[in-house]
Structure 1
Amino acid sequence: MDNHPAPLPASLPATQLKRRAAALAGILTGLGLSGSSSLLPLLVILLQASRALATLLAGFALVVLSLTWPAVFRADQRLLLAVNRHARRVVWMDRLMFVVTQIGNGGFGLLLALALALHGWGLLGVMMAGAVLTLWPLVEVLKWFTACQRPFTHLPHLNIIGWRERSLSFPSGHTAQAFLLAVLVDQGIALGGLFRLGLYALALLVGLSRMYIGMHFPRDVAAGALIGSAWGLLVYRVALSLF
């Protein structure tokens, strides 16, 4: 395969990013004006968790901003190739990564939510189901906003494990769900340090699998981890305030 990234510009021109940011801001402003009373409790909760959420959202914003930096985009390609070059060379790893990446599927998240609900963690199960179902449209809006193509459109000789997904690339929805589940389980169940570390290591492995199978750039994965973690924390805080 070609180990030299193509000298392409960043995924989204800065002018398009600004236009879409303005459009999204207008939509959010309209929603806020039309339903400010219902949004107020959410804003209060957001402020209560400001330190963690602000850090996660600031990190996400920085990753989005980096989409307009060609030098970072080229580095993104090189890092992806470094991870992906092992695909189709080690059969057992191909199979492992394909299985691990399924943790990021919505169906897995809903099954986990059902399992928790049936084993004495009813509120956490409901919380998780709601978080999984609302994360998908959030990720889709962000993908529309950034309009980034999949890595194989830039690197045609990339090794692909499984099928070529047709949706846009940024952020990684699979990684977002993996970190969403990790945050909710971490917040809702008192885990020891080792188990907690293993939980986030598994979520990180899901992100790595997205690069290994050729579906996402490293920045897609980083953004997915940040937005999934932020959404999980916000959903948990909202649910606690309501119940």
Structure 2
Amino acid sequence: MRILLVEDNVDLADAIVRRMRRSGHAVDWQHDGLGAASVLRYQSFDLVVLDIGLPRLDGLSLLGDLRDRGDATPVLMLTARDGIEDRVHALDVGADDYLAKPFDFREFEARCRVLLRRSRGQASAAIQVGTLVFDSAAHTVQVDGAPIELPNREFRLLEILLGKLDQVVSKDEIAKGLFGFDDEAGPNAIELYIGRLRKKLGESPLRISTVRGVGYKAESALE
């Protein structure tokens, strides 16, 4: 999934970026509010992780501008402030969740997963298609109870396709979910990952079809 991190603490930002990228997410980082506001006007994200205390434009003002434009992107607020008034204010402005610093990275990742699931209308971390079970929380894929080992980027590609099961997902949408601004992705990168994913899934009950000139569609092979 494509995540924008807005955090001025360089050490914390670096730790978050490295951890989320190891999980296969595409993560872009902005260290101040004005830079993030500019990026958010032309690039869409699946999740924004936003610090309240930012230089040039504070996180609450940035969040307010985002919601005023009708942008419903899930936002997880981060702050060193732990007062109830700050939490209530953040939620009233439009934050979807709130996490006080310092935090455990396991909780941070869990909250991110919940917001990403909620934005796709999923009540559970697990998606099942026939005997294929995809679990984003456990980071596992199984077919007939047997594990399918997928590298992080192929795992996230499958997550994107399953998030729009039976719908066509454009190459552009896939690229935005898989690759950040700093990622080097050639013109045939998506086709390469699709080919690898199909091979790993083999005779599973999930079929990934190519919709020529448009993108790809994941659907049950049992229907």
- The two structures have a TM-score, normalised by structure 1, of 0.27
Greater helix percent: which structure? Answer: 1
Kindly indicate whether structure 1 or structure 2 has the higher relative contact order, using CA contacts under 8 Å at least 6 residues apart.
Answer: 1
TM-score normalised over the length of structure 2: 0.29
